[in-house]
C-alpha cells in the first residue's frame, strides 16, 4: 500500500509539472493574475470577453448545456470551482 501511495504522489507531481510546461509552449496561451475573488450581488464589467475571473455572483452555474446566454457573474463563479 505504501508503494502504491508513493507511486501516486510521484505520478501526480509529474503530471502537474508536465502540464504546466506544455501550456507554456502553446502559442496564444495567456495568463491573468491579480484577479479578485469577491462575491458580489451587482453586475460586473469584465475587461475580457468571455471573462477569465474576478468578482462574481455568490451562486455558480450547474454544469450542462444552456440554450440561452448565461450571466457572466455566475459563469465566473463556476470557473472558480473548476468548470470550463
pLDDT tens, position by position, 12-39? 988 877 776 665 677 888 889 999 999 9
pLDDT of res. 37: 92
Q: Which residues are within 8 A (CB) of 39 and not within 5 positions of it... i.e. 6 or more apart?
A: 55, 56, 57, 58, 77
Asked if residue 76 lies in contact with residue 51, where contact means CB atoms within 8 angstroms, the answer is yes
Q: What is the pTM of this model?
A: 0.65
Ramachandran bin of 71, using left for φ above 0, alpha for ψ from -120 to 50, beta for the remaining angles: beta
Amino acid at each position: 500500500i505504501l508503494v502504491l501511495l508513493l507511486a501516486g504522489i510521484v505520478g501526480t507531481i509529474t503530471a502537474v509539472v508536465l502540464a504546466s510546461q506544455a501550456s507554456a509552449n502553446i502559442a496564444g496561451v495567456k495568463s491573468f493574475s491579480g484577479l479578485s475573488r469577491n462575491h458580489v450581488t451587482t453586475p460586473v464589467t469584465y475587461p475580457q470577453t468571455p471573462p477569465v475571473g474576478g468578482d462574481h455572483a455568490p451562486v455558480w452555474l450547474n454544469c450542462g448545456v444552456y440554450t440561452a446566454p448565461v450571466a457572466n457573474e455566475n459563469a465566473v463563479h463556476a470557473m472558480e470551482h473548476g468548470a470550463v
